[in-house]
A and B are shown apart, each in its own frame.
Chain A
Amino acid sequence: MSLHHHLANFLFIVLLVGFTTLGDLLMARAMRKVGDVDQLRRQAGFMGVVRAVLARPSFYGAFLSMALSFFSLLISLSLIDLSIVIPASSSLTFLATLLGAKFFLKEHVDAKRWMAGAIVTCGIVLLALE
């Protein structure tokens, strides 16, 4: 496989990671503002939940990012093995999302979660090894 192909594969994985992370962060922000959807569904019904979610601007940003992430995934899967694409993108997405949750969503990522994150990331990297 030529350098050109390697670079193309790498580019699609980077795009996949970037769009997935951005989508997750924006979606988490939107759903945090919406509140517990189970409770909301009991109070306002299913359409009430839909309206509440659609009223959040960050939902649309998340939706766009996830759509781009989905197409990046489709193209990546057609180029690279599933067992490589998923672990490689997951491990990088994992770290990026943990950092985003800490600094963008202001979540309290304590030592236990960092440790679990490190362990899981190591596991994902091992899964990705040929």
Chain B
Amino acid sequence: MAKSIGKRIVKLRRYAGVSEVCRAGDRSRDPERAQRVERICFVFSRRYAGVSEVSRAGDRSRARTGFGFATVFERVLPCGISQKTISFHYAQILRLNFVTAPRHIHTMNTRRYMVLLMVVLGSTLGDVFLSRGMRQIGRITMANLSDLSLAIANPWIVVGTLLLIAFFASYLSALSWADLSYVMLITAFGNVLTALLARFMLHEQIPFTRWAGIMLITFGVAFVGQGPSLTVSADHPAQDADKTPEHTTSGEPMPAGAAAPRERNPR
């Protein structure tokens, strides 16, 4: 066990930088602690955040002030380091099996929630505007398919199309830093807006069942919205090469000792 941990430390030094790994190396000699996610995360963040910033965070953690992994990555992100580089090394660290089960990482911040809001608003308002425009044009069947060309001149359809373009750009952006299964769950809130807009703009009636549906969707979106947004698999590091680790959640024991007090360096 100790030997394999030693090998891991050698590899980790290669990926995380020698000087800063020394501390983790000392602690990792304790087999029980070898897989502590917080240590890997700390080493990893030191490598990329710049020592001074992380040292401060480390000092706070030693002072038992509730230092968390998220705190470190808030400091990592503004450093202008390539996220591809971070992701590559993060995947390598995962492959060392120090981290047992971090299947999701949290990549969300306020700006990204705003992008998701744009996805919801763009698609919802775009659909409503298109619906209004198509009603003005009239019924389209296979017999008069050419009437679709009239859509280009209809202002409702033009604005609806512009909104859908904004939706599309936001959607592409979201898919680059979050799972499709996460983005689609969050953007399902658009169904609620669609129903409300259909009620107030198109004057359709909303019976009790639809209000119940609105509440269920809202609950489902809120249920998953605060959770981790991106899959990271140690088995498929190449697949995760474009991901931005901000802070991990292992699903079960959350980012491990993220908030745990850190020991003093024995060296």
Chain A residues close to B by CB (< 8 Å):
24-25, 27-28, 31-39, 42-43, 53, 66, 70-71, 73-75, 77-79, 81-83, 86-87, 90, 94, 97-98, 100-102, 105-110, 112-113, 115-120, 122-129
Contact = CB atoms under 8 A, between A and B. Distances in A.
Contact of B83 (A25, A36, A94, A128): A36
A123 B164 CA distance: 24
A43 B242 CA distance: 14
Interface of A: prevailing SS: helix
Given A37-B173, A98-B184, A86 B231 contact: no
Interface stretch (B17-25, B54-62, B67-75, B187-195): B187-195
Contacts of A112: 223-224, 227
A98 to B, nearest CB: 6
12 contacts: A24-B180, A32-B176, A32-B242, A77-B134, A97-B181, A100-B180, A105-B179, A110-B251, A120-B220, A120-B221, A123-B217, A129-B209
B63 interface: no
A123 B220 contact: yes
Interface string B214-246: 111111110110010001010010010111100
B145 to A, nearest CB: 8
B8 interface: no
A120 B185 contact: yes
Contacts of A129: 207, 209-210, 213
A127 B217 contact: yes
A101 B181 CA distance: 6
A107 B179 contact: yes
B172 A53 contact: yes
Contacts of A118: 220
A128 B191 CA distance: 10
Contacts of A86: 127, 191, 194
Contact of A123 (B87, B177, B191, B227): B191
Contact of B220 (A53, A100, A116): A116
A34 B218 CA distance: 31
Given A27-B175, A28-B180, A124-B213, 12 more contacts: A36-B244, A39-B82, A53-B172, A74-B148, A82-B202, A90-B191, A94-B184, A105-B179, A106-B231, A109-B181, A118-B220, A127-B213
